[in-house]
Structures are given as structure tokens and as C-alpha cells.
Amino acid sequence: MSNNIYIEYRFTVEPKEPASDILIAELGEAGFESFVEEEDEVLAYIQKTDWSLDILNEIQILKNKNFEIKYGYKEIQQENWNATWEQNFQPIIVDHVCMIRAPFHEPIGVEYDIIIEPKMSFGTGHHETTHMMLQHILQLNIKDKTVLDMGSGTGVLAILTAMRGATDIDAIDIDNWCFLNAQENIIRNKMEFISVYEGDVALLNDKKYDLIIANINRNILLQDLPAYVRSLNKNGILLLSGFYTEDLDIINQKCIELELKFEKNLERNNWVAAKYVN
């Protein structure tokens, strides 16, 4: 397999909001793995082995006359990804206490300084869902708690839980690049006690957690919620994101069926991150 070859799409979007968020969500459903948002463009990446010429046929926003979206694509070698990353990535600060930065950025003395290099993985903190999940984690007392980061991407959420005192942490992602990259970022942040696995909910078996974080997408969340609930300790917390404001009702309905209690949610540019307890 040509795991080191990706197809890069470069989209120009007018108006950018909310079109870019919808575009990214639909591309993610189609198999695109990583995204970079620039001022007036969206860059999207998919492995060449998962790509076909008609990959965009089912992307509905491209047919929406309310938005003007133009695009082109090209092959990109994996070894060129770092140059793309360095050119586009800017550090972010969450709630004035958590900084997500690349190795080539200088620290600024915040309480939680997380260094990542994504290598095609999703979850840099720039996307609304990751940003809100970081906010939720900052508000929790998770010292000595057991944690599952499902759909872990770069591993940034698992790393923050470790920095906040969680001691038994698993990070799981179905994508091989995410699995490898999370391992690298965990070592880079000196959090080697975090266990990283490649796979899906089938890996959970009978293990229990005090906190489960799942930042994926609506359909996968609805499918996997029963497995999350089975793996959640009594008085545990479930954080869900990767869906839109209009999807919150259906997520709530499923959680109620599973005897979870909705506690609060954050919203950012029509994306939601919700907190549930059992």
C-alpha cells in the first residue's frame, strides 16, 4: 500500500462561514483525514489508496447555490507534510491556560503547554470540536481518574488529561497515521504512561473508565454510544463532540435511552461539545 502518498484538495469557499465547517464535516464522512483552514481556503487530505476521481460526488454543499466553492487537487508525498504544517500552523491558546503549539514555536509560560506535530492527524486544537473538548477538560477535576480518548487523533486531549492528573489513560483511533502520531506526541510531551491503540470500540472489552472523551461524528457516536455506556464507571462523565447544534436533540435522545443525564454543552460556530453523566 502507498501509505505515504496523499491527495491534497485546496478549496476556496465563499462565504467561508458556515460553509467551511459543513464542507469539512462532509469531507470527513467521505474519508478525508486531515484539514488545514487558511484565511480564505480549506486544505483537505485523503490517502491515495482511499481516493477516487468521483470522491466529491456525494459532497452536497458543492451543489448548494448559496455558496461558491472552487477546488483543485494534487498528490502530496508524506515527507512534504511537515513543510505544509509549518507553513500553516499557528499556536492556539485555550482559556488563557492551555497552549497548543508546534516544536518550532516558543513557549509563553501557560500552565498547560502541549507540543504536537500532526503528520496528517486530526485534532490540533484549531477545529471547534477539539477546542471545546479542551475547554471541558480544563473544567473537570480528573486527578487520579481513568480516561478513554476515543478517536484520539493527535492525542492532544489525552495529553491534557494527563497534565491535569489522570493516571490511567487509553487513546484509541482507527487510523494508522493517528495511532503513530499520537504515540510520537505523547513521547514528545513526556506522557509515556498513556496507552495508544489502533482500532475501534471492539478494543474496549470490559475495561471501565471515569471519563470517556469521544470527538468523532454524529453517526459513529450514535452507533457506539452503547459501548461507551458499558465502559463508563458509576458517576462517570462522557464528553461528546463532532456534531452540529441541530444534531444535539438526537444525541440527547439516544443518551436518555441509555440512562445518561445531560449536564451542559458548549457551542462554537454551530459545533457542539456536550457533557453527560451516569
Helix (H) or strand (E) holding 276: strand 271-277
Q: Which residues pair with 83 in a beta bridge?
A: none
Q: Is 215 annotated as a binding residue?
A: yes
Cβ burial, residue 124 (10 Å; 0-12/13-18/19+): buried
3-state secondary structure 50-89: HCCCCCCCCCHHHHCCCCEEEEEEEEEEHHHHHHHHHHHC
Q: Is 173 annotated as a binding residue?
A: yes
Q: Which residues pair with 273 in a beta bridge?
A: 241, 266
Between CA 163 and CA 66 the distance in angstroms is 44
Long-range contacts of 76-81, Cβ-Cβ distance < 8 Å, separation of 24 or more:
76/5, 76/6, 76/7, 76/8, 76/45, 77/4, 77/5, 77/6, 78/3, 78/4, 78/5, 78/6, 78/119, 78/120, 79/4, 81/6, 81/119, 81/120
Between CA 260 and CA 99 the distance in angstroms is 32
Q: Which residues contact 83 (CB under 8 A, 6 or more apart)?
A: none
Name the 3-class secondary structure at 104. Answer: coil
Annotated binding site: 130, 151, 173, 215
Annotated binding site for S-adenosyl-L-methionine: 130, 151, 173, 215
